[in-house]
């Protein structure tokens, strides 16, 4: 909860994160429901995507800069 406090305290960050997730989902062809936020600051956030499936789920990780929404891949945590 501490990691995601900015989502509740800062509406600007909240809108930027929402936009970033929507853009990422659209540009990567992923469903929004698979995203979970691992870390969040004013400058960037790290999000993990789990492609839910029967059996093993595929995992992806993205580092996204705010407010530019520049996106890079990162290593998936265990």
- Of these, 15, 19, 31, 39, which contacts other proteins (CB under 8 A)? 31
Nearer to other proteins, 26 or 68 (CB): 26
Q: Verify binding: residue 61, other proteins, rule CB under 8 A.
A: no
Q: Verify binding: residue 4, other proteins, rule CB under 8 A.
A: yes
Q: How far is CA 54 from the centre of its chain?
A: 23
Can you give the binding site for other proteins, defined by CB under 8 A?
A: 1, 4, 7-8, 18, 26-37, 51-55, 58
């Amino acid at each position: 909860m501490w990691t995601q406090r900015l989502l509740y305290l800062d509406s600007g960050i909240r809108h930027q994160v929402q936009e970033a997730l929507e853009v990422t989902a659209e540009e990567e062809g992923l469903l929004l429901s698979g995203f979970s936020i691992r870390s969040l600051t004013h400058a960037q956030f790290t999000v993990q995507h789990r492609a839910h499936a029967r059996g093993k789920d595929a995992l992806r990780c993205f580092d996204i800069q705010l407010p530019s929404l520049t996106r890079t891949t990162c290593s998936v945590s265990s």
